[in-house]
């Protein structure tokens, strides 16, 4: 079964516009996700460093 051309031109345009928007969102997401992962890794390293520093500080105070 083959699809017939869209009988209503406005509907065809709307579908095309939505597909274009979906494609743009997918492309943007592909760019954003690696940056977000990198940012999260940096934030986690900073947090781990602060946590480690806090764990060492009480030990130094008792020395």
Give the pLDDT means over successive 10-residue stretches in the chain (63 positions): 68 94 98 96 96 78 58
Residue-level pLDDT at 56: 79
Spatial CA neighbour of 6 closest among 23, 14, 19: 14
CA dihedral over 54, 55, 56, 59, signed as positive or negative: positive
The pair of structure tokens assigned to 45 is 């390293």
Cβ neighbours for 4, distance < 8 A, ≥ 6 positions apart: none
Residue 59's pLDDT is what? 65
pLDDT of residue 61: 59
Q: What is the pLDDT of residue 36?
A: 96
CA distance 39 to 33: 10
């Amino acid at each position: 079964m083959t699809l017939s051309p869209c009988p209503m031109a406005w509907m065809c345009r709307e579908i095309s516009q939505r597909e274009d928007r979906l494609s743009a969102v997918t492309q943007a997401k592909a760019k954003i996700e690696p940056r977000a992962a990198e940012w999260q890794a940096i934030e986690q390293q900073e947090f781990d460093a602060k946590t480690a520093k806090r764990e060492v500080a009480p030990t130094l105070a008792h020395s």
